């Protein structure tokens, strides 16, 4: 695991690239990604809602991933305003003692709580049992689970660093009183009131294949596809999602 060092970094038990956004030069991909996400009120509110819910549920190992991150970068590099993806993908490692039915019910519970905290297209997936769907060995981390995703550039996840949160909970907005819609459309650091402490937390980034491809505007197939991944899935996804038409600077990295 490559991890930055220093007081501002909190570490996940993962492989791959894992770092905080603090202490990086602006041209560093991690700092660039952090700046992009922090510039969007909508993305910050999603991050904050996830932080509130997951902290309250006692889930420390979670990420907002896939299109939530990927499209924010591609939009920016194409000079477009950041779009809101239809799905806000949230992955986490659930309770290993849960039965399949219990795990599914808990996914639905988390989805409902996230929707209550902030209305968005939440798509919550427990990675604890995802290896069964993929015909793979159990995933010991979220980074490992992301390595089998069809595109390397999709395998990027972010969250507010838990060590950057207020510990007392006194300044946290209750989930049954979601934020009003009068927050300024500015960078996260400009928010006020109950959101302020969480929004100033470090942004933790987990990227098992790194970030260079994402910022190079490439789409690269994973070198570790799931054992039962259908032939041609990578190209089928590129075509069905219309990425090359929507983002003409993209190129396939074979």
Does the pLDDT of residue 237 top 60, yes or no?
A: yes
For 106-142, what is each residue's pLDDT tens digit? 999 999 999 999 999 999 999 998 998 898 888 999 9
* Residue 171: predicted pLDDT: 27
Q: What is the 3-state secondary structure (H, E, C) of 71-118?
A: HHHHHHHCCCCCCCCCCEEEEECCCCCCCHHHHHHHHHHHHHHHHHHC
- Mean pLDDT, to the nearest integer, of 220-230? 92
- What domain range includes position 18? 2-252
Q: How many domains does the chain contain in total?
A: 1
* Residue 202: predicted pLDDT: 79
CA distances 37 to 3, 30, 40, 75, 184, Å, are 20, 11, 6, 11, 15
* Residue 35: predicted pLDDT: 92
Least Cα distance to 181 among 42, 48, 84 occurs for: 42
What one-character DSSP code corresponds to residue 151?
B
The helices-and-strands tally (H runs, E runs) of the chain is 10, 9
Q: What letters, b where the CB count within 10 A reaches 16 and e where it falls short, cover 54-89?
A: bbeeebebbbbbbbbbbbbbbbbbeeeebeebeebb
Q: Which residue has the tokens 């560093």?
A: 28
For the question of whether the overall pTM of this predicted structure is more than 0.95, the answer is: no
pLDDT band at 27 (very low <50, low <70, confident <90, very high): low
Q: Which residue has the tokens 């060590």?
A: 163
| Three-class secondary structure of residue 32 per DSSP | helix
For 33-88, what is each residue's pLDDT tens digit? 999 999 999 999 999 999 999 999 999 899 999 999 999 999 999 999 999 999 99
Q: If you average pLDDT over each of 169-183, 218-232, 239-253, which comes out highest?
A: 239-253
Kindly report the CA angle at 174 between 171 and 178, in degrees rounded to 5? 110
């Amino acid at each position: 695991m490559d991890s930055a060092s220093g007081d501002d970094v909190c570490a996940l038990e993962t492989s791959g690239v894992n770092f905080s956004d603090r202490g990086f030069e602006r041209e560093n991909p991690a700092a660039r990604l952090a700046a992009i996400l922090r510039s969007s009120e909508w993305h910050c509110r999603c991050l904050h809602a996830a932080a509130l819910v997951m902290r309250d549920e006692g889930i420390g190992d979670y990420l907002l991933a896939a299109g939530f991150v990927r499209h924010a970068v591609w939009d920016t590099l194409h000079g477009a305003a950041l779009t809101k993806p239809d799905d806000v993908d949230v992955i986490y490692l659930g309770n290993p003692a849960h039965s399949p039915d219990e795990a599914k019910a808990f996914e639905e519970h988390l989805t409902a709580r996230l929707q209550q905290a902030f209305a968005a297209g939440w798509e919550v997936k427990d990675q604890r049992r995802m290896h069964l769907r993929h015909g793979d060995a159990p995933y010991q981390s979220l980074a490992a689970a992301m390595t089998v995703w069809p595109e390397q550039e999709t395998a990027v996840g972010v969250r507010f660093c838990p060590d950057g949160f207020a510990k007392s909970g006194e300044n946290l907005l209750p989930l049954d009183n979601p934020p009003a819609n009068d927050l300024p459309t500015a960078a996260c650091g400009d928010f006020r009131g109950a959101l302020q402490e969480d929004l100033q937390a470090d942004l933790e980034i987990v990227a098992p294949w790194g970030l260079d491809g994402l910022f190079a505007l490439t789409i690269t197939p994973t070198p570790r596809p799931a054992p039962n991944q259908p032939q041609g899935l990578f190209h089928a996804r590129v075509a069905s999602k219309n990425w090359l038409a929507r983002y003409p600077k993209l190129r396939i990295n074979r």
